[in-house]
Structure 1
Amino acid sequence: MDASTEQLRTLAAVIDHGTFDRAAAALHITPSAVSQRIKALEEQSGRVLVRRSKPIHATEAGAVLLRLARQVALLEAEAAAELEGGDGTAASPIPLVVNADSLATWVLPALATVPDAVFDITLDDQEHTIDRLRDGTAMAAIGSDPEPVQGCTVSALGTMRYRPLASPEFVARWCPDGWTAERAAVAPMLIYNRKDALQDRYLDALAPGAHPPRHFVPASTEFVAAAVLGLGWGMVPDLQADALVADGRLVVLDEASGVDVPLYWQQWSLHSAALDAVAAAIARAAAAALRPAQPSRGT
């Protein structure tokens, strides 16, 4: 196939904005022109590339071309920056997908050290971030899967240690005589969202088959705040918990147990000054904030 830059840019706009009309407005062309470009690209590829839903989604074949579209856009922006006398670092947005706890603790300071970069950050559970690489949403991801996505490289960053914590008031009410399987089976539990399996992983080891009440709190900082306020117990990373434990606002329920979550950096196998700069910043910050990493793998 012979996809043009214009067609690829239109495909990315349709997926990013969700409708042909919004893509047309972003590209300053008519909705009819958007439709014609997508139709021509589908005819050239011999595949249906987008699902005409609300919002529009890429098909499996569309995700392949969406990744190509984002790669072309990044390289174009870097080439333009270099021709203008810069260092080749693009001002084009870099789509990243990051787990919430990393974003709330060590990732933002890392990104702040990359000059002139523009980020489009999406949150997802660490066990699901690579889905955004597969569908073309992101150029790079921080997650817990060590297996590289096709066309990507992966580097081990380190591990985040999570421990079961609750407020002193929660402890006094639900487990004054100690944290046991019987108490854990009935004490309210905090869950980040329905993808979050950390609490269940710990609970299955302590009290198999238990189904305590659950509060869903889908924001990292507010999740910790809910624990401090006594709504429930939850698995909190040491990076967020240490200061709260030190000043007595949170109590470790089980000193002997915890969950170590390995984190990996995955990015497209693409020579890009912008992506390389971001990867280096992430690696430096991870080395300072996380426990030691496992060996790297790649494709």
Structure 2
Amino acid sequence: MTDLALDQLRTLAAVVGEGSFEAAAASLHVTPSAVSQRIKALEAATGRVLVRRTRPVAVTEQGAAVLRAARQVDLLLADLVPSVAHPGPVTIPVVVNADSLATWFVPSIAVVADQVCVDVHREDEQHSLGRLRDGTVLAAVAADPGRVPGCTVTSLGTMRYRAMATPGFVARWFADGVSAAALATAPVVQFDRLDDLQHRFVRRVTRRRVDPPHHYVPGSEAYRDAVRLGLGWGMLPDLQSAALEQTGAVREIGERTRIDVRLFWHLAQLESRPLALLSDAVHAGARRHLS
């Protein structure tokens, strides 16, 4: 592979991060034509198509390695010549699951906010590593402990979920206990179509497939409120449900409803002070909030 120009690498990262050539141009303070020319030059230099001209722009499989290199070079330059590479805090793209984002993650990184900026991508904890593999992010909170090439992985701790609902909902739908028949008819709240926590609980109880009525509420706080307002039952993390349970707003739908989700921190293997600061803050926050 021939030498790659720094401005071309930064332009690739901007195009993928911003989602379009126009938005990338605005963030880089250049014209869309300049962005297009840089990407074409980079593709010519590598001999590969690096991005799909879709909306939003998507990196190709071949472009993922170049994007990952672009992210890493930018971080290394921030350490080497911070005043030239970054007049302010360096921005680190990271993927985090919605429940961590709504509970422990943001308070954890607040202590380094004056030194590191984050570009958070939200993704289900079971599917976060795809963003790390394709170079979109440099760090990930994920439930998958599998090693991503070029990255380290360490344990963060466990988020505990329990099947919760309002007392009135439990009295109506689970008066005779949490049975296969009750779970087949009681409405359930799903975060989205990738969320399998409720399915895991149902399979554990029923040992067979059931298809209850579903609400889809794709927002962590909105999901909690949907359960609190009686739309259905759902798996709530203890970090969200503890206060509601104390006031009597929600309760477990039955016994032994617990599902523990172990979380891991995946980090690009780079000697970078901003990356180290972020990682230390995440680990310290996880120790405070996770079990």
Taking structure 1 as the reference length, what is the TM-score of the superposition? Answer: 0.91
Cα 1:284–1:24, aligned 2, differ >3 Å: closer, same or farther?
closer
- Provide the rounded CA distance (Å) in 2 between the counterparts of 1:99 and 1:259: 16
- Provide the rounded CA distance (Å) in 2 between the counterparts of 1:82 and 1:149: 32
- 1:189 match: 188
Cα 1:30–1:242, aligned 2, differ >3 Å: closer, same or farther?
closer
- Provide the rounded CA distance (Å) in 2 between the counterparts of 1:30 and 1:115: 31
- 1:32 match: 33
Which moved further from structure 2: 170-179 or 136-145? Answer: 170-179
Q: CA deviation at 1:58?
A: 0.9
- 1:202 match: 201
Q: CA deviation at 1:83?
A: 8.0
Q: How does 1:206-245 map to 2 (within 5 A)?
A: 206-207=205-206, 208-245=208-245
Q: CA deviation at 1:131?
A: 1.0
Cα 1:204–1:33, aligned 2, differ >3 Å: closer, same or farther?
same
Q: CA deviation at 1:269?
A: 0.4
Cα 1:30–1:224, aligned 2, differ >3 Å: closer, same or farther?
closer
Q: CA deviation at 1:4?
A: 1.1
- 2:134 match: 135
Q: How does 1:1-299 map to 2 (within 5 A)?
A: 1-81=2-82, 91-116=89-114, 117-207=116-206, 208-291=208-291
Deviations 1:258-293 (A, max 9, x none): 2111100001001111111111111111112212xx
- Provide the rounded CA distance (Å) in 2 between the counterparts of 1:109 and 1:138: 20
- Provide the rounded CA distance (Å) in 2 between the counterparts of 1:68 and 1:282: 23
Cα 1:252–1:153, aligned 2, differ >3 Å: closer, same or farther?
same
- Provide the rounded CA distance (Å) in 1 between the counterparts of 2:21 and 2:217: 34
Q: Which amino acid aligns with 1:174?
A: W
- Mark the runs of 5 or more structure 2 residues left unpaired by the alignment: none
Deviations 1:231-259 (A, max 9, x none): 00001111111222222111111322321
Q: CA deviation at 1:89?
A: 11
Question: Residue 169 of structure 2 contacts residue 232 of structure 2 at CA under 8 Å; is this kept in 1?
Answer: yes
Cα 1:115–1:29, aligned 2, differ >3 Å: closer, same or farther?
closer
Question: Residue 74 of structure 1 contacts residue 90 of structure 1 at CA under 8 Å; is this kept in 2?
Answer: no
Q: CA deviation at 1:143?
A: 0.7
Question: Residue 90 of structure 2 contacts residue 274 of structure 2 at CA under 8 Å; is this kept in 1?
Answer: no
Secondary structure at the aligned position of 1:112 is classed as helix
Cα 1:255–1:89, aligned 2, differ >3 Å: closer, same or farther?
farther
Cα 1:115–1:27, aligned 2, differ >3 Å: closer, same or farther?
closer
Question: Residue 184 of structure 2 contacts residue 212 of structure 2 at CA under 8 Å; is this kept in 1?
Answer: yes
Cα 1:115–1:28, aligned 2, differ >3 Å: closer, same or farther?
closer
Cα 1:62–1:110, aligned 2, differ >3 Å: closer, same or farther?
same
Which moved further from structure 2: 97-106 or 14-23? Answer: 14-23
- Provide the rounded CA distance (Å) in 2 between the counterparts of 1:249 and 1:115: 35
Q: CA deviation at 1:34?
A: 2.3
Deviations 1:181-240 (A, max 9, x none): 211111000100111010011111212211000011111111111111110000111111
Cα 1:18–1:244, aligned 2, differ >3 Å: closer, same or farther?
closer
- Provide the rounded CA distance (Å) in 2 between the counterparts of 1:54 and 1:240: 35
Q: Which amino acid aligns with 1:33?
A: A
Q: Which amino acid aligns with 2:110?
A: A
Question: Residue 177 of structure 2 contacts residue 254 of structure 2 at CA under 8 Å; is this kept in 1?
Answer: no
Q: CA deviation at 1:132?
A: 1.0
Q: Which amino acid aligns with 2:276?
A: D
Secondary structure at the aligned position of 2:24 is classed as helix
Q: Which amino acid aligns with 1:264?
A: F
Q: CA deviation at 1:22?
A: 3.1
RMSD of the TM alignment (CA)? 1.9
Number of aligned residues: 288
- Provide the rounded CA distance (Å) in 1 between the counterparts of 2:26 and 2:234: 45
Q: CA deviation at 1:105?
A: 1.2
Taking structure 2 as the reference length, what is the TM-score of the superposition? Answer: 0.93
